[in-house]
Amino acid sequence: MIRNLVICSLVICLFSCEETPEHYLNYASGDAFGTTFSVQFIDKKEIDFSTSYDSIITVINSSMSTYQNDSDISKINHGDSGIVVDHHFKNVFNTSKKIYEETKGVFDPTIGVLVNAWDFGPEGKIVSLDSLKIDSLLISVGLNKVELQNDTVVKEHTTTFIDFNALAKGYAVDVFSDFMESKHYENYLVEIGGEIRGKGSNLVKKKPWKIGVEDPNFDQTQSYSKVISLENEAMATSGSYRKFKLDENGNRYAHIINTKTGFPHKSNLLSVSVLTKTCMEADAYATALMSMGLEKSIAFLDSHPQLKTYFIYENEKKELKTLTLNGFPDK
């Protein structure tokens, strides 16, 4: 009898002492917003949220995709009146207004009509536009000419074209992150097209979430010379090294248009990465700083210490240089 008890005790001990995984890394990826997305989060078991991810993508596209003809923003751009916009549209619109005013119009979601107008020529060559044509397009540019009234968009000029692509991906990252928060996850990492937001850490590897800042490679290859830890923040990067044009003298112009003149501007700034609390703001500020150029960005960041920023630029000798401001981490 005593022998049987000993054996029984050993069996119970073996089963109770057997390690069960405390942390399971759930991973999902797919296509979204013309690019790809990935979501990682920690749980004690495998969980499939793919249906929820698809629903988020569908709702945001229905609200703000300029590539979807029946979206709210496309209907508004086509001149339809009385379109009642959802809370996603309002969130992005209100943030756009805030940053438009802070940057004195440098960040402007209505500049798309000029971006499209300059997109001429084979192999990225700039073809000069008639100045009268530019002036006529500039009349409809300016987010100050657009208002939200009773959840509908009112435009001063019917031809004003609204395009939230400069911050929509970042906003979608925030919506995915809010979904993770609603499920009470304390450790997750969301990425859409290179825009990222993370919370907690990778408990499986017992390390922080690690993300890379892409090098400005003009040959379209990808490499990362700077890798940092991300915890309870979001990062977005804007760069001119993938989308640029050349004039007849070989000068490189960013795809970003000067909102005051309507002309693309030559810039030695190749990449701007911004760390802050929400990915929507990181996305928008990164775009705005790229538009400002290095010197004006430095002055702007002096009064915006919450924006941790990393610049990659070319000096007069075409040498790559970097600049870190407001505590952007080294690793």
Q: pLDDT tens-digit profile of 108-123?
A: 999 988 877 877 444 4
- pLDDT value at 15 more than 50: no
| pLDDT given at position 257 | 81
Share of the chain above pLDDT 90, in %: 67
Please give the radius of gyration of the chain, using alpha carbons only, rounded to the nearest integer.
24
DSSP labels, 51-68: HHHHHHHHHHHHHH-TT-
As a CATH number, domain 24-325 is 3.10.520.10
Alpha-carbon distance 9 to 182, whole Å?
43
- pLDDT value at 252 more than 80: no
Q: pLDDT tens-digit profile of 126-156?
A: 566 788 888 988 999 999 999 999 999 999 9
Q: pLDDT tens-digit profile of 18-71?
A: 444 689 999 999 999 999 999 999 999 999 999 999 999 999 999 999 999 999
Read off the amino acid at residue 60: I
- The pLDDT-based confidence of 254 (bands split at 50, 70, 90) is low
Q: What is this structure's pTM?
A: 0.88
Which runs of consecutive H residues, i.e. helices, occur in the chain? 2-17, 50-64, 72-77, 87-102, 112-117, 131-138, 165-182, 279-292, 294-302
- pLDDT value at 228 more than 50: yes
Alpha-carbon distance 206 to 220, whole Å?
33
Q: What is the mean pLDDT of the chain?
A: 87
Report the chain's terminal Cα–Cα distance, integer Å. Answer: 62
Question: In Å, how far are 111, 271, 283, 287, 296 from 106, measured between CA atoms?
Answer: 10, 17, 14, 9, 11
Alpha-carbon distance 183 to 300, whole Å?
37
| pLDDT given at position 214 | 82
Q: Residue 301: what are its φ and ψ, rounded to 5°?
A: -70, -20
Which tokens in the block code for residue 259?
């909102």
| pLDDT given at position 215 | 79
More confident residue, 5 or 126: 126
Q: pLDDT tens-digit profile of 260-287?
A: 888 877 778 889 999 999 999 999 999 9
User: What are the domain boundaries of the chain?
Assistant: 24-325
Q: Which residue has the tokens 């010379």?
A: 225
* Longest CA pairwise span in the chain (Å): 102
Which residues neighbour 317 within 8 Å (Cβ) at sequence distance 6 or greater? none
Comparing 151-165, 193-207, 257-271, the range with the smallest average pLDDT is 257-271
Alpha-carbon distance 170 to 182, whole Å?
18
- pLDDT value at 312 more than 80: yes
Question: In Å, how far are 55, 116, 168, 223, 311 from 296, measured between CA atoms?
Answer: 40, 25, 25, 28, 13
Among 168, 111, 103, residue whose Cα is nearest residue 145: 111
- The pLDDT-based confidence of 2 (bands split at 50, 70, 90) is very low
Alpha-carbon distance 127 to 125, whole Å?
6
- pLDDT value at 1 more than 70: no
Among 146, 148, 153, residue whose Cα is nearest residue 100: 146
More confident residue, 124 or 175: 175
| pLDDT given at position 205 | 94
| pLDDT given at position 245 | 64
Mean pLDDT of 76-97: 96
- Answer for the pair 313, 209: CB distance below 8 angstroms, yes or no: no
Alpha-carbon distance 64 to 146, whole Å?
16
